[in-house]
Amino acid sequence: MIVEACEITVRRGGADVVRGVSLTARPGEVLGVIGPNGAGKTSVLRALCGLDPLVSGQVTYGGRTAQEIGRSAFGRTLAYLAQGGRIHWPLRVAEVVALGRLPHGAAEADAAVARAMAAADVEGLRDRTVGTLSGGERARVLIARALAVEAPILLADEPVAALDPYHQLQVMELLRTGARTGTAVITVLHDLTLAARFCDRLILLKDGRALVQGPPSEVLQPDQMAHAYGVTVETGVRDGEPFILPWRRCGVPRPLQETSP
């Protein structure tokens, strides 16, 4: 299912935090949303899933608005993994993951929960209460809950933020695998190398506006990174895949030992 945002603007606290942003996410691809703090990344995702009202513009899902789809069906159409999600009830892990099946009722609940828990590597945690989990374990449980929806659209806001390197790679592989099976995946990322390796396309935001969109090789150019983030970058290729490292803040002199002959 194609997700399209056309010239969307979101206002919060009297200020426009998203300004005329347009994007398209297609089945079979991972669209990465990148940009510095305060660029509007989370606000874009919240607008895409209907949590933040639009001042102007429109979002459609397979050519229909959320209102046209209807609340019940919309819950099966889109799964949203919020940034830094919290769980306030003393539920067991399996119960939290099962919440992802609520839009479906009882249909194939057990099988879908089992698939999601296996994919997110939380099967061994199923009987623990969420209050006993580490931050990274809790993050993986919330990822499993989103996967359990088995929706054609998945929005993930900084899904690897609390994870160790092993599980960061695992989650990004999950998102890419989900896309390859027909899901439209939109994810907010801060790690530019993960964005370069795992995203099919990127949209770079700054001050609520889209600066550039396209393949990672076009978006992650040094001049654009300097403009958006205020940093220089080092780039390369390993095992046929790109990496990009923020190297130095723009305008900051190099250390003396690096400038000496």
Confidence of residue 129 (pLDDT cuts 50, 70, 90): very high
* pLDDT score recorded for residue 242: 93
Where helices occur in 99-221 by DSSP H, the ranges are 109-119, 135-148, 165-180, 192-198, 216-219
| In the predicted structure, residue 256 carries a pLDDT above the cut 70 | no
Q: Please name every residue paired with 188 in a beta bridge, in sequence order, or none if there are none.
A: 33, 157
Q: Average pLDDT of 152-176?
A: 92
Q: How far is CA 51 from CA 34, 44, 62, 111, in A?
A: 20, 10, 19, 29
- CA 213, 214, 220, 223 dihedral sign is negative
Better-predicted residue by pLDDT, 149 or 253: 149
- Residue 154, amino acid: L
Range from 99-108, 207-216, 237-246 carrying the lowest mean pLDDT:
99-108
Contact 186, 25 (CB under 8 A): yes
Average pLDDT for 190-216:
97
**Two tokens at 192?**
């530019």
Work out the average pLDDT over 209-217. 97
Burial class of residue 127, CB neighbours in 10 A (0-12, 13-18, 19+) = exposed
Calculate what percentage of the chain has a pLDDT beyond 90: 77
pLDDT band at 211 (very low <50, low <70, confident <90, very high): very high
Is the confidence at residue 161, as pLDDT, over 80? Answer: yes
Q: What is the pLDDT of residue 236?
A: 94
What CATH number should be reported for the domain holding residue 211? 3.40.50.300
Q: How far is CA 152 from CA 13, 24, 76, 126, 141, in A?
A: 33, 14, 8, 25, 20
Q: Does the pLDDT at position 102 exceed 80?
A: yes
β-pairing verdict for 201-206 and 30-34: parallel
pLDDT, one tens digit per residue, over 13-71 is 999 999 999 999 999 999 999 999 999 999 999 999 999 999 999 999 999 999 999 98
Domain that holds residue 21: 3-259
Band the pLDDT of 90: cuts 50, 70, 90. confident
CB–CB of 55/10 below 8 Å?
yes
Q: What does the pLDDT read at residue 139?
A: 87
Q: For residue 214, what pLDDT is reported?
A: 97
pLDDT at 84: 75
Distance between CA 94 and CA 114 in Å, rounded?
9
Tell me if residue 234 falls in helix, strand or coil.
strand
Say yes or no to pLDDT of 253 above 60: yes
Number of domains in the chain: 1
Q: pLDDT: is 7 or 137 the higher one?
A: 7
pLDDT in tens, 53-68: 999 999 999 999 999 9
Sequence-distant (≥ 6) Cβ neighbours of residue 16 within 8 angstroms: 9, 10, 55, 208
pLDDT of residue 252: 72
pLDDT of amino acid 107: 60
The better pLDDT of the pair 136, 234 is held by 234
